[in-house]
């Protein structure tokens, strides 16, 4: 396994991290608890020692399954649990809430569900416009000083928000969306994070499965699956993205004897101080991990990849569908907060 250091943590982190959003079931058409536990254990046993989760993934279910999976075989001590804070759910609707009170309550809930007495990496899930960033940072800094958490991360922040946070508390990692098809982070948060020696946890490394080669024009999804909302998965765009996947598959095969999935994860790893978060909910989905390690994409192939994307994807779209779409009043006395329309 390739590793990378995360400031504040004694264990080097594997450069592939297991993403456990789908394991929570919510927004992914459900999940099987037994398979989920086996997937987490398989990941750890394969050398993937960073597990990314969040309270909102299945409204506590993903964290609970992570806690259950790590309880046996001495796995907890060798694992970096990266969970998140700052999204609450009320009657099945979700809202940003990065207030100090919410953080204080959530950390205890997460510790209980994860069956642990410390969180290795605690990440603010989304910036909350209704709470000054300095207040959120102060609350996170206190948890660090108390030893409840060992490192701080932010997710979905822009560079300006990150700079403000950093004035108050240390930031060890950032977590933007980042994959071959979704590259906005390169131009802002990733460059800033690299300049500050932070580690980048890239989410959606497989573009929600699109970059696995397992999806075709006929693939359908259950109603409660975010891919029914994702504009990349709707025709005619899906055809453009699949054409790119087809050409990338051919390129990976002829240049390296690899699959498009291995190319996609390797691409994330070869772009900087990154950890590729790989979402999986069945153990066999992690079978190709070995294909990703021990090689690099050369400059010429990087250029060819860009050329393929330009030629095939005429109507590109980013992961903005995950961003909030409305701003209702939900917390009396705290101002407005924003529900997350689709994804986390």
Give the active site residues: 57
Among 35, 52, 247, 291, binds ligand NAP (CB under 6 A): 52
User: Measured from the CB atom, is 9 or 66 closer to ligand NAP?
Assistant: 66
Q: Confirm if 162 and 155 have CB atoms less than 8 A apart.
A: no
- In the chain, helix, strand, coil percent, each to 5? 40, 20, 40
Find the helix or strand (DSSP H, E) in which 110 lies.
helix 100-114
Least Å from the CB of residue 267 to ligand NAP: 13
User: Measured from the CB atom, is 186 or 303 closer to ligand NAP?
Assistant: 186
Q: How far apart are CA 336 and CA 131, in angstroms?
A: 9
Torsion, Cα 264 266 270 275, to 10 degrees, reads 90
Least Å from the CB of residue 228 to ligand NAP: 12
Among 156, 199, 240, 338, binds ligand NAP (CB under 6 A): 156
Would you give the binding string for ligand NAP spanning residues 73-102, x where CB under 6 A is met?
A: ------------------------------
Among 98, 139, 277, 330, binds ligand NAP (CB under 6 A): 277
- Report helix, strand or coil for 16: strand
Instruction: Identify which of 111, 64, 106 has the alpha carbon closest to the alpha carbon of residue 88.
Output: 106
| Choices 36-44, 187-195, 201-209, 247-255; region in contact with ligand NAP by CB under 6 A | 201-209
Q: Bridge partners of 119?
A: 149
Among 267, 279, 308, 312, binds ligand NAP (CB under 6 A): 279
Would you give the binding string for ligand NAP spanning residues 244-263, x where CB under 6 A is met?
A: -----------------x--
Least Å from the CB of residue 206 to ligand NAP: 3
Least Å from the CB of residue 117 to ligand NAP: 22
Q: Are strands 80-85 and 87-90 parallel, antiparallel or unpaired?
A: unpaired
Among 90, 191, 214, 327, binds ligand NAP (CB under 6 A): 214
| Choices 63-71, 234-242, 281-289, 325-333; region in contact with ligand NAP by CB under 6 A | 281-289
Cβ-proximal residues to 337 (8 Å cutoff; 6+ apart), any chain: 95, 96, 97, 128, 130, 327, 328, 330, 331
User: Measured from the CB atom, is 137 or 292 closer to ligand NAP?
Assistant: 292
Q: Confirm if 207 and 181 have CB atoms less than 8 A apart.
A: yes
Q: What burial letters (b/e) apply to 100-119, b meaning 16+ CB within 10 Å? A: eebbeebbeebbebbebeeb
Q: What is the DSSP string of 19-38?
A: E-TGGG-TTBT---HHHHHH
Among 204, 232, 267, 312, binds ligand NAP (CB under 6 A): 204
Q: Which residue is nearest to ligand NAP (CB)?
A: 279
- Locate 84 and state its tokens: 């998140």
Instruction: Identify which of 43, 51, 64, 55 has the alpha carbon closest to the alpha carbon of residue 1.
Output: 43
205 interacts with ligand NAP by CB under 6 A: yes
Site for ligand NAP in 14-43 (CB under 6 A): 19-22
110 interacts with ligand NAP by CB under 6 A: no
Binding interface with ligand NAP (CB under 6 A): 19-22, 52, 125, 155-156, 175, 203-209, 212, 214, 261, 277-281, 285, 288, 343-344
């Amino acid at each position: 396994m390739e590793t990378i250091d995360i400031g504040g943590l004694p264990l080097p982190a594997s450069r592939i991290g297991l993403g456990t959003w789908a394991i929570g079931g919510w927004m992914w058409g459900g999940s099987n608890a037994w398979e989920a536990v086996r997937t987490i254990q398989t990941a750890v046993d394969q050398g993937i020692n960073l597990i990314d989760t969040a309270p909102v993934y299945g409204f506590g279910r993903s964290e609970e399954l992570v806690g259950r999976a790590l309880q046996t075989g001495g796995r907890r001590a060798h694992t970096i649990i990266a969970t998140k804070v700052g999204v609450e759910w009320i009657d099945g609707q979700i809202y940003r809430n990065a207030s100090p009170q919410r953080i204080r309550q959530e950390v205890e809930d997460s510790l209980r569900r994860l069956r642990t007495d410390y969180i290795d990496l605690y990440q603010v899930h989304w910036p909350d416009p209704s709470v000054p960033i300095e207040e959120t940072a102060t609350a996170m800094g206190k948890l660090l000083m108390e030893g409840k958490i060992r490192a701080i991360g932010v997710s979905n922040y822009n560079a300006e928000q990150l700079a403000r946070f950093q004035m108050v508390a240390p930031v060890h990692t950032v977590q933007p969306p980042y994959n071959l098809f979704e590259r906005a982070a390169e131009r802002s948060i990733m460059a800033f994070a690299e300049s500050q020696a932070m580690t980048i946890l890239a989410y959606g490394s497989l573009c929600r499965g699109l970059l696995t080669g397992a999806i075709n024009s006929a693939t359908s999804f259950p109603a409660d699956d975010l891919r029914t909302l994702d504009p990349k998965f709707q025709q005619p765009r899906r055809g453009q993205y699949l054409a790119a996947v087809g050409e990338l598959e051919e390129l990976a095969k002829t240049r390296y004897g690899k699959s498009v999935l291995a190319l996609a994860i390797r691409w994330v790893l070869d772009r900087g101080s990154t950890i590729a978060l790989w979402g999986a909910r069945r153990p066999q989905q992690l079978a190709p991990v070995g294909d990703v390690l021990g090689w690099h994409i050369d400059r010429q192939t990087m250029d060819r990849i860009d050329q393929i994307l330009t030629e095939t994807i005429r109507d590109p779209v980013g992961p903005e569908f995950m961003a909030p779409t409305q701003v209702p009043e939900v917390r009396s006395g705290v101002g407005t907060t924003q529900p997350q329309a689709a994804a986390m």
